[in-house]
């Protein structure tokens, strides 16, 4: 569930794919993110630790390349992984940008 930056109304989106399973296997039923960051960040959940990590080096990259780079270079260990990303429209704060999950699922936030 979210508050749309485009309309100000409440809305919801459903991902499907591995995202819900990966979040549950990490020990969580819900992830709530509040506030904003002064720099680009991504959220990493490993072994009961939740961290925001610097994503400045990933800003402006294509979605598929970004997901692969995060997994290979920055995130240790094995396990079920999922990536949700905002893409270039989200980076530019386009109010009707969507979230991309698993490289082929798009979820509108309008």
CATH number at residue 92: 3.60.9.10
Residue 29: pLDDT above 50? yes
Contact 70, 56 (CB under 8 A): no
Predicted local distance difference test score (pLDDT) of residue 39: 93
Give strand ranges (E) for the chain.
2-3, 10-11, 41-46, 49-54, 84-85, 98-101, 105-108
Query: Interior CA angle at 15 toward 11 and 17, to 5°?
Result: 175
Give the span between the Cα atoms of 107 and 84, in whole angstroms: 10
CA distance 85 to 64: 10
Count of domains for the chain = 1
Mean pLDDT over each residue of the chain, to the nearest integer: 78
What DSSP element (H or E) covers 89? helix 87-91
Q: Is residue 109 scored above 60 in pLDDT?
A: no
Range of the domain at 40: 2-108
Percentage with pLDDT > 90 across the chain: 4
């Amino acid at each position: 569930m979210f508050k749309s930056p485009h309309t100000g109304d409440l809305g919801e989106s459903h991902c499907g794919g591995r995202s819900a399973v990966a979040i549950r296997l990490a020990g969580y039923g819900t992830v709530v993110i509040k506030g904003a960051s002064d720099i680009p960040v991504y959220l990493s959940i490993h072994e009961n630790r939740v961290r925001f990590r610097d994503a400045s080096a990933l800003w402006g990259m294509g979605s598929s390349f970004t997901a692969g780079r995060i997994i290979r270079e920055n995130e240790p260990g094995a396990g079920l992984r999922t990536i949700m990303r905002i893409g270039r429209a989200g980076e530019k704060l386009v109010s009707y940008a969507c979230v991309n999950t698993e490289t082929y699922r798009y979820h509108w936030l309008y």
